[in-house]
Amino acid sequence: MKVTGNASGSGSSREARIASHSHIKGLGLTEDGTALPLSQGFVGQKSAREACALILDLIRSKKFAGRALLLTGAPGTGKTALALGIAHELGQKVPFCPMVGSEVFSSEVKKTEVLMENFRRAIGLRVRETKEVYEGEITELTPTEADNPLSGYGKTISHVVIGLKTVKGTKQLRLDPSIYESIMKERVSVGDVIYIEANTGAVKRVGRSDAYATEYDLEAEEYVALPKGEVHKRKEVVQDVTLHDLDIANAKPQGGQDIMSVVGQLVKGRRTEITDKLRGEINKVVDGYIERGIAELVPGVLFIDEVHMLDLECFTYLNRALESTISPHVILATNRGKCVVRGTEYDAVSGGEGIVSPHGIPLDLLDRCMIVRTLPYTKEEIKEVLKLRARIENLNLNEDALDLLTEEGVKSSLRFALQLLSPASILAKVSTRTEIMVGDVQEANTLFIDARRSARSLTSGQGGKFL
């Protein structure tokens, strides 16, 4: 859904993609873990949010290993929002891998392989390496040409002379022509702040020197201060990578075998299975780097929505994966009560009817889960959610129209009421109004029907006439 609104109160308009959970920025908690009535995009679900706050404490204190969080509740009660809220609270550097239970049924790879791939996507590795670098503002950039030795025509770059300046001094470097190619790729010019790795020759443009902000450039994308210290220095470089990235890189190895070479080899290849032997070797290398203090493991969050769609084979594999020494924090979600565990329909013990279990999850896995329930929203909470979404989507909603949408949310569902917002805003624009009125909501409600009315029309046997 695309909406046009004011960007941060400025006069220029922009087009933004508003997702279902764009308003969720965290769990909306106080310092002592108490849930606020309306905070960080969350409305209601006080008990569930406070339970998730305790889960966050367990994760941060590294006491959540071997367990899983199971979110249960009716559709549209905020299960996915809670998982996203936990991910936001953990921070941007912590990997978050969402998936749906039905994703495992692929024609290309095994079900367990899809699960393991997502497990390793949700486990990060923070690699710290001290490198020798040249850093500073470019004062000179002079390529030197020579005759091409391969032909009598044309010129080729023999070397490039770069002048770098910092607060403490200046230095002139004579560098290989391959580094000049890297400089051209980064679109570097005089006045830019760059750093060059001494070992690999990699060039990184940091930004435009702030000395040029008032002297020459009218505007630039980013100004940075002149680097401190000497031009030649030792600098700690931190890179974040997931275990799945390492798996892919080692499945098609190129170049060196050290950890930094592997990080630099990340390629997108065809989806194929990666052997347990290869993953075991990668785990040994990762363990070695962790023991030496070069790298740090960052367990992320694996969120499996509609977990009842998994079958018995997947549940067994999940049990084993949770016991692994390298495992992410697993959050499961389902809207089912008691139902048959998939994959047991032809089990001899169940007499061909399947094993019925709470939430469609085997009891041995349920024992590992800490279960949190989400409750249906009250009328006041539905109204607050509608007001929040209208503000996020930059929609001007009349108070009477808001009351009508709230009644529709109570009568049908919150999701249906939210879905009526955008069509109603378009109908208002057609009528050359910026404010959504009651008539716009009523017209949208006649054009689009909720699930209950649709079901009644099909079962009434009156040729589609609504009851």
Q: What is the pLDDT of residues 178-227, one digit of tens each?
A: 787 888 888 888 888 888 887 777 888 888 887 776 655 555 567 788 88
237 and 128 Cβ atoms separated by less than 8 Å:
yes
Cβ atoms < 10 Å from Cβ of 199: 10
Given a cut of 50, whether residue 8 has pLDDT beyond it is: no
Identify the pLDDT of residue 181. 80
Return phi, psi of residue 404, to 5°: -65, -40
For residue 350, the model assigns a pLDDT of: 56
Instruction: Supply the pTM of this predicted model.
Output: 0.67
Q: Average pLDDT, stretch 124-141?
A: 83
Residues facing residue 15 across a β-bridge: 4
Q: What is the pLDDT of residue 70?
A: 92
Distance CA 124, CA 256 (A): 21
Q: Which tokens sit at 450?
A: 């909720």
Quote the distance between the C-alpha of residue 455 and its chain's center: 36
pLDDT band per the 50, 70, 90 thresholds, residue 466: very low
- 62-105 pLDDT tens trace: 788 778 889 998 888 888 888 888 888 888 888 888 888 888 88
Segment 32-68, tens digit of pLDDT = 878 887 777 778 888 888 888 888 888 888 788 778 8
Place of tokens 């890297």: 182
Among 24, 23, 22, 4, residue whose Cα is nearest residue 14: 4
Q: What value does the mean pLDDT of the chain take?
A: 79
Separation CA 21–CA 393 (nearest Å): 12
Structure tokens given for 125: 């590795």
- Angle formed by the axes of helices 243-251 and 276-291, nearest 10°: 120
Domains of the chain: 38-122+300-373 (3.40.50.300), 129-238 (2.40.50.360), 377-459 (1.10.8.60)
CB atoms within 10 A of CB 342: 18
Ramachandran category for residue 426: left, alpha or beta (phi over 0 → left; psi -120 to 50 → alpha): alpha
CA distances from 352 to 140, 239, 342, 347, 356 (A): 79, 52, 12, 6, 12
Q: Which of 63-72, 164-173, 331-340, 457-466 has the lowest mean pLDDT?
A: 457-466
Give yes or no for a contact between 365 and 318, defined as CB atoms under 8 angstroms apart: yes
